[in-house]
Structure 1
Amino acid sequence: MFRWFEKRLEAFPSAEPSEPPKTLVAFCMHYTRGVWPWLAVMAVCTASIAVLEVSMYAFMGNVVDWLSNQSRETFIAQEGWKLALLAGVVLIVMPGIVLLDSLVIHQTLLSNYPMRIRWMVHRYVVRQSMTFFQDEFAGRISTKLMQTSLAVREAVMKLLDVLNYVIVYFSGTLIIAAAADLRLMVPFLIWLAAYIGLMWYFIPKLQVASKAQADSRSSMTGRIVDSYTNIATVKLFSHSKREENYAREGMEEFLSTAYTQMRMVTGFHVMLYAMNCLLLFSVSSIAIWLWLGSAISVGAVAVGIGLVLRLNGMSQWIMWEMSALFENIGTVEDGITSISLPRLVTDVPHAPELAVSAGAIRFEAIGFHYGKGAGVIDKLSLDIRPGEKIGLVGRSGAGKSTLVNLLLRFYDLESGRITIDGQDIAKVKQDSLREHIGMITQDTSLLHRSIRDNVLYGKPDASEELMRQAVQNAQAEAFIEAASDPKGRRGFDAHVGERGVKLSGGQRQRIAIARVMLKDAPILIMDEATSALDSEVEAAIQDNLYRLMQGKTVIAIAHRLSTIAALDRLVVMDKGRIVESGSHEELIAADGIYANLWARQSGGFLGLDDEQEAAE
């Protein structure tokens, strides 16, 4: 039975995620598609329970009157069938509805509903542009994803569950009071108006405070995660105290928002309790006065006072539920600011897969300025023949990495176009573009998974034999065999820690090289691919890298010019433009920028700029 209800709602819908709306109601509706049938079942069950519970009070009033007015000898004979009906409702109907309600809420909705939202949001966010992730803390994004998914669930379910229950219950209360005497209904109406006014005043303020608190919470978490992620830098510069203060600033900001919220909650709670006391006094006084005048029965007095006592407890519950509701609404609104953002880099409708037959790359008068209007790259044109191996040369800031990022379509061009085998990369699927490009970066970041998972990331369906061959070619066998982690996993099963922190820079780079060797893409980009390797390992791996380059179109970036001097062509960039192009010998003979850089190298590394060289 449990499993059947748990499988009624698909936790991982396969539909392609779309940009979520930016307004609260539309956002919640967007992530509630497919859930409505079960929310409707929950709402019907809740309304039924409320009707039956309030009816019980009316029936109990009748029981009191029967006991007061009838003899013990004839009571069962006259009222027995009514008592049997009540017993059936209490013993069978109500437990049955509560069982169905509980199964729908706890088995179908509470787990699957937020998981659907997490899945859909994650699938949308993970395809966001590089700019999105560069502008946010990773911890802050993940916190908002988790907070928002739970907050949408709570907001929608509380709205349907609590308000539905409250409306039905209050309506039933007013009807029962009016049935006894219209004058008995007056205190309930006044209390209801005051209660609505109280919520009308406090709830919007609580909503604003909750939104500020949710933002502070995600910021606080982001600060803490940032410290942990960069713990090596923190320790290297002995800045533990500074990081404590940095985290404390976030915590104090969060605490300030919590204080503001709790002050309002205290005011709400005290005023509500005073109203409940006035209601109890008023209803009791009017009921006794009406009974003294023979206007109502003893049962009506009991029902009126019983309903007040029930409302007293229920209004406290409603207060907290409504506070939680609007706290969740505030959290959702805060999440919308980070989640409901358009993707800056998107596939055109019905984009085809990229088909790489030769590997010819062409940059046609491209311009890109990171939205600044000028600088970085301007009207750059470059043709790379199929299978040609070129080296990009230039000081930091010349635009080399930007050029590579544009080829990978991490950003969209502001002018011009880039083609691969005549196909505009802006008009093909991004995933297919990157599937045909292998890249080894200087700043190698590994996934916090096993070494096997990290190597197979290049080609998940590769055989064990192919994977081990790639590892061997990358000269990574020895340290992998000796690897272990705190959970006792060894070799390829050992986990490497966050971003690969348990491995040295050279070890991480060799795994990255093995990963790209396994991918075996027709276009290869190497950005300081051997910068973290010592000379002995680099020499051992160089032959395998050259073999990897065979038959591929290669773009290599290196400050150590000796590593790229043997490539087919060297392209010298300066301030986003190509200023020289040719073989190593041709550029030396031209006695231009490249020749000057080559002559000024110390130990084979490219000087970064004149000011740094002067400082050295």
Structure 2
Amino acid sequence: MTLTAETPRSDLSTLRALSRLLPFAKPVLPRLVLGAVSALIASLLALSIPLVLEGVVAGPISSGDLAQIAWGAAAILGLGLAEALMVWLRRWFVLGPATGVEYSLRQSFYARLQRLPVAFHDRWQSGQLLSRMMQDMSMLRRWMAFGVVLLVVNVLTILVGTVLLFRWHWLLGTIFLVTSAPLWYAGYRFEKTYGTLARQSQDQAGDLATSVEESVHGIRVLKAFGRGKHALQKFTRQAETLRETELSKARAVGAIWFWLVLLPDIAFALCLGAGIYLVQLGQLQTAELIAFFAMGTVLRWPMESIGFLFSFMLDARTATDRIFEVFDEENTITSPDRPVSIERPRGELSFEGVHFRYQDAAPTERDLLDGVDLTLRPGETMALVGLTGSGKTTLTTLPTRLYDVTGGRVTLDGVDVRDLDLVELRRHIGMAFEDATLFSQTVRENVLLGREDLQPGSAEAERVLREALGVAQASFVDDLPHGVDTIIGEEGMSLSGGQRQRLALARAVAARPAVLVLDDPLSALDVDTEALVEDALREVLHATTALVVAHRPSTVTLADRVALLEAGRVTAVGTHSELLRTSEHYRHVISSLEVEEARLREREVNL
């Protein structure tokens, strides 16, 4: 899914959208409430200082009683220290819980990504997911620890302070209130503008992260073709778009700040003029006027902070929308409520009238797999051959339910794979892909990835590891700096393509599944190494059902039988010699594979 700046926000109100965080915040809600109470007490202490100041000015200062002035100053100092203590308590109460909520949210988000089907990851850019997991969740942590508490407390402070302003004279309170009223309209306009810009900014940041990730992963291709400048130009355009959006956000914030600063100043000026006039009339005491302006000064920061906190809330709302877009994605590939269990699978794999089409396929397009019927007998090795685009790789993704069939069914020992628990299914059926993906872990951890049943460091784990490496002809690992405990780096890019494929094959072999699906796992190997691997695989496959996608004639020799896939259907099944004798299309496919293999051998000789 490619998200753009035009991606709309959810239809929920801001408060309802943010309320979706409550299940994650519920365990720490008491401490967050205590933090808010501490902040509110701090604000009330600040509001009480002008009241004490009024008494000091009206009494000790007017009478010149120095002892009473000292007591008044001490009272104000005490209130200030108490306010500082409450501010410290507020931070102590909220910082730990906020990081806990972030941790819980991030764990749930990652778990959700693991459960969502491959079709979801086909549609979504990895940079968009990364920006949601890191940038958006960090923003929510800061908002919960700081923004939401101060927003609630400052709004309450403004309301209480405004009521107290009427204590000295109704006219002064009315002037202050009426002059500040346009702020609410400005805030309404601000939400509409800033909310859209915040969504654009965060989506564009995700697009930018995707570009960086693609450039880093594809750095060899960019360098090989001298396209670094082209990639930089594309990145610059995206960065400039993000920059313009951020400037628009800054202008929107600047506009609200203009009114937040200007209107209180206008209110102060009008109140000062009215206050002096009321003092002259004898309707207001000087001490009361001083206290009024002290109260207005206390309210100045809460009023000025509203714009920043409001924009912070809208950023948090946008982050919440973006995160829950992933949580709201439907998971179409799940374990059944009452799964069937196969304790000792025989390994019979059948495709019965299988149809499949990708979600983005046009309605007029035929199914990519258009009624596949194929049965692999227990312990049999079946080679799958066909021209490019015939659906071979797609067919290999269906037994483990990386994708679900759109028609027909796939069975293991007569049981529909959709009736099996996903964990059990993927324990019984293992895969090795042509595009070998390794993780930033040790060789040992990569090869034993599918063997959770083995105790790390045990003799059995070492035996399985060595057997799998031997089958894959991966003895090169012993020459690595730390042998099988060498961390091979991100996606194994420090290894050659053939080395990565051999480790991926070793991983599939180590899993010891009842059915092994191999999607051309030897394509990056040289011919001599491939022959050694094939000899070792024969020993492994004699007791394992295997479906092998073959792109070389030499791979076909591994198989007991061969299935010919043509235009989404299996049109012939038999031994290699039988199909050569009876199928013209098979002869055409094999000849094209032989040409490709001859080119490969010629390239190896030239190297």
* Alignment map for 1:31-46 (pairs within 5 Å): 31-46=24-39
What is the CA distance between 1:593 and its match in structure 2?
2.2
CA offsets per residue over residues 357-395 of structure 1, 9 Å max, x none?
211112221211114352211222222222121111111
The answer to whether 1:57 aligns with 2:54 is no
Equivalent of 2:205 in 208, 217, 229 = 217
Q: For 1:566 and 1:176, how far apart are their aligned partners in 2?
A: 89
* Alignment map for 1:207-606 (pairs within 5 Å): 207-352=195-340, 355-371=343-359, 372=361, 373=363, 374-460=366-452, 461=454, 463=458, 465-466=462-463, 467-477=465-475, 479-484=476-481, 490-599=482-591, 601-602=593-594, 605=597
SS in 2 for 1:219: helix
CA offsets per residue over residues 229-251 of structure 1, 9 Å max, x none?
11111112211111011111211
The code of the aligned residue for 1:512 comes to: A
CA gap 1:87/1:352 in 2 versus in 1, 3 angstroms = farther
SS in 2 for 1:148: helix
The code of the aligned residue for 2:132 comes to: K
Q: For 1:126 and 1:22, how far apart are their aligned partners in 2?
A: 27
The answer to whether 1:169 aligns with 2:157 is yes
Contact persistence 2:28–2:97 (CA under 8 A): no
CA offsets per residue over residues 135-159 of structure 1, 9 Å max, x none?
2221221112222323333455556
Q: For 1:338 and 1:254, how far apart are their aligned partners in 2?
A: 23
Contact persistence 1:393–1:571 (CA under 8 A): yes
Q: For 2:436 and 2:560, how far apart are their aligned partners in 1?
A: 26
CA gap 1:274/1:98 in 2 versus in 1, 3 angstroms = closer
Contact persistence 1:523–1:552 (CA under 8 A): yes
* Alignment map for 1:126-165 (pairs within 5 Å): 126-156=114-144, 160-165=148-153
What is the CA distance between 1:168 and its match in structure 2?
2.2
CA gap 1:573/1:333 in 2 versus in 1, 3 angstroms = same
Contact persistence 2:382–2:561 (CA under 8 A): yes
CA offsets per residue over residues 300-322 of structure 1, 9 Å max, x none?
21221122233334333222222
Q: For 1:348 and 1:58, how far apart are their aligned partners in 2?
A: 67
SS in 2 for 1:481: helix
Q: For 1:381 and 1:503, how far apart are their aligned partners in 2?
A: 39
CA offsets per residue over residues 382-410 of structure 1, 9 Å max, x none?
22222121111111111111111111211
CA offsets per residue over residues 201-241 of structure 1, 9 Å max, x none?
22321111111111111111111211111111111221111
Q: For 2:34 and 2:426, how far apart are their aligned partners in 1?
A: 46
CA gap 1:339/1:255 in 2 versus in 1, 3 angstroms = farther
Q: For 2:393 and 2:67, how far apart are their aligned partners in 1?
A: 96
Q: For 1:33 and 1:131, how far apart are their aligned partners in 2?
A: 33
Contact persistence 1:28–1:152 (CA under 8 A): no
Contact persistence 2:47–2:298 (CA under 8 A): no
CA gap 1:585/1:307 in 2 versus in 1, 3 angstroms = same
The code of the aligned residue for 1:105 comes to: V
Contact persistence 2:46–2:298 (CA under 8 A): no
* Alignment map for 1:15-94 (pairs within 5 Å): 23=12, 24-70=17-63, 72=65, 75=68, 90-91=80-81, 93-94=82-83
Q: For 1:71 and 1:253, how far apart are their aligned partners in 2?
A: 65
Equivalent of 2:90 in 101, 105, 117 = 101
Q: For 1:380 and 1:537, how far apart are their aligned partners in 2?
A: 33
Q: For 1:470 and 1:102, how far apart are their aligned partners in 2?
A: 54
Contact persistence 1:207–1:330 (CA under 8 A): yes
TM-score, with normalisation over the residues of structure 2?
A: 0.88
User: Could you say which residue in structure 1 is the equivalent of 2:112?
Assistant: 124
What is the CA distance between 1:172 and its match in structure 2?
2.3
SS in 1 for 2:383: strand
What is the CA distance between 1:95 and its match in structure 2?
4.8
Contact persistence 1:598–1:606 (CA under 8 A): no
CA offsets per residue over residues 237-286 of structure 1, 9 Å max, x none?
21111101111121121112112212222222223322122012122222
CA offsets per residue over residues 563-609 of structure 1, 9 Å max, x none?
223422111110110100111122123243223433454357499xx
Contact persistence 1:559–1:606 (CA under 8 A): no
Contact persistence 2:355–2:367 (CA under 8 A): no
Give ranges in structure 2 of 5+ residues lacking alignment: 1-9, 600-607
TM-score, with normalisation over the residues of structure 1?
A: 0.87
SS in 1 for 2:491: coil
Contact persistence 1:561–1:604 (CA under 8 A): no
User: Could you say which residue in structure 1 is the equivalent of 2:605?
Assistant: none
User: Could you say which residue in structure 1 is the equivalent of 2:6?
Assistant: none
Q: For 1:114 and 1:362, how far apart are their aligned partners in 2?
A: 45
Contact persistence 1:140–1:221 (CA under 8 A): yes
The code of the aligned residue for 2:25 comes to: T
CA gap 1:360/1:26 in 2 versus in 1, 3 angstroms = farther
Q: For 2:370 and 2:282, how far apart are their aligned partners in 1?
A: 95
Q: Pick which of 347-356 and 422-431 moved more.
A: 347-356
User: Could you say which residue in structure 2 is the equivalent of 1:14?
Assistant: none
What is the CA distance between 1:558 and its match in structure 2?
0.8
SS in 2 for 1:499: helix
Aligned length: 576
User: Could you say which residue in structure 2 is the equivalent of 1:194?
Assistant: 182
Contact persistence 1:144–1:335 (CA under 8 A): yes
SS in 2 for 1:571: strand
Contact persistence 2:354–2:373 (CA under 8 A): yes
Give ranges in structure 1 of 5+ residues lacking alignment: 1-20, 485-489, 608-616
What is the CA distance between 1:71 and its match in structure 2?
5.7
Q: For 1:74 and 1:244, how far apart are their aligned partners in 2?
A: 72
The code of the aligned residue for 1:107 comes to: G
The code of the aligned residue for 1:465 comes to: E
Q: For 1:267 and 1:22, how far apart are their aligned partners in 2?
A: 26
CA gap 1:193/1:354 in 2 versus in 1, 3 angstroms = farther
Q: For 1:182 and 1:224, how far apart are their aligned partners in 2?
A: 60
Contact persistence 1:158–1:321 (CA under 8 A): no
What is the CA distance between 1:73 and its match in structure 2?
7.8
The answer to whether 1:180 aligns with 2:168 is yes
